[in-house]
């Protein structure tokens, strides 16, 4: 199986679907992403995240539970999730 995070370097864009802020930290890459609540006036409810997050089971969990929605990504990434 091909590791999608090793083949695509373009970030993916996700929108927070929750009313309040959402914070995700990837300890392996030492990256923390903070989304403001859905509908944030300054647009901070949408954030770019590294495609390497697709290797993190906790990140996949919040994606699969609908806490965040995939807004923009390469077709290979869309197919993988």
Residues 6+ apart with CB under 8 A from 23: 32, 33, 34, 35
Q: In this model, does residue 5 exceed pLDDT 70? A: no
The pLDDT score that the predictor gives to residue 19 is 97
Higher pLDDT, residue 34 or 81: 34
The pLDDT score that the predictor gives to residue 1 is 44
Q: What is the pTM of this model?
A: 0.80
pLDDT tens digits for range 17-68? 999 999 999 998 899 999 999 999 999 999 999 988 988 999 999 999 999 9
Q: Count H helices, E strands: the chain?
A: 3, 5
The H-assigned helical ranges of the chain are 4-7, 57-64, 75-80
For residue 49, give Cα distances in angstroms to 1, 11, 15, 32: 23, 5, 11, 9
CA trace torsion 26, 13, 10, 31 (10° rounding): -20
């Amino acid at each position: 199986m091909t590791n999608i995070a090793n083949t695509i370097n373009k970030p993916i864009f996700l929108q927070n679907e929750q009313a309040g802020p959402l914070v995700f930290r990837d300890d392996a890459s030492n990256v923390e992403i903070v989304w403001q609540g859905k509908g944030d006036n300054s647009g901070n409810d949408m954030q770019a995240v590294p495609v390497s997050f697709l290797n993190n089971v906790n990140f996949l969990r919040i994606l699969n539970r609908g806490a965040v929605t995939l807004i923009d990504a390469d077709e290979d990434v869309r197919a993988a999730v």
